[in-house]
Amino acid sequence: MSASPSATGTAPEPRPGPTVDGADAGPEGRRRILDAAAEAFWRRGYAATTLREIADAAGMKAGSLYYHFDSKDELLTAVLRRGIAVMDEAFSVAEAVAASRPPRGRLRAHVRAHLEALFEHGPYTAAHVTTFHTAPDPVRRRIVPLRDAYEARWADLIAGLAAEGALTDDIDPHLVRLLLFGAMNTSVEWFRPDGPLDLDELAAAITDHTWHGIARRRGPEDER
CATH number at residue 115: 1.10.357.10
CA atoms within 13 A on the CB side of 25: 5
Listed in order, strand segments (DSSP E) in 73-135 are: none
Question: What is the spatial distance between Cα 106 and Cα 215, in angstroms, rounded to a whole number?
Answer: 13
pTM of full prediction above 0.85: no
Q: Which amino acid is at 69?
A: F
Q: If you count them, how many residues does the chain have?
A: 224
* In-domain check, residue 11: no
For 148-186, letters b (16+ CB in 10 Å) and e give: eebbebbeebbbebbeeebbeeebebeebbebbeebbbe
In a domain, 100, yes or no: yes
Q: Is residue 170 part of a domain?
A: yes
Q: Per the domain annotation, does 20 fall within a domain?
A: no
9: left (phi over 0), alpha (psi -120 to 50) or beta: left
Query: What pLDDT tens digit does each residue of the chain (224 aa) get?
Result: 434 444 444 545 555 544 555 556 678 889 999 999 999 999 999 999 999 999 999 999 888 888 899 999 999 999 999 999 999 999 999 999 999 999 999 999 999 999 999 998 879 999 999 999 999 999 999 999 999 999 999 999 999 999 998 888 888 888 999 999 999 999 999 999 889 999 999 999 999 999 988 877 655 544 45
- List the domain range (segments joined by +) for residue 118: 71-214
Give a yes or no: residue 219 inside a domain: no
Counted domains in the chain:
1
Residue-wise pLDDT tens digits, 33-58: 999 999 999 999 999 999 999 999 99
Are 87 and 112 spatial neighbours (Cβ–Cβ below 8 Å)? Answer: no
Say if 149 falls within a structural domain.
yes
Tell me whether residue 31 is in a domain: no
Residue 101 maps to a domain: yes
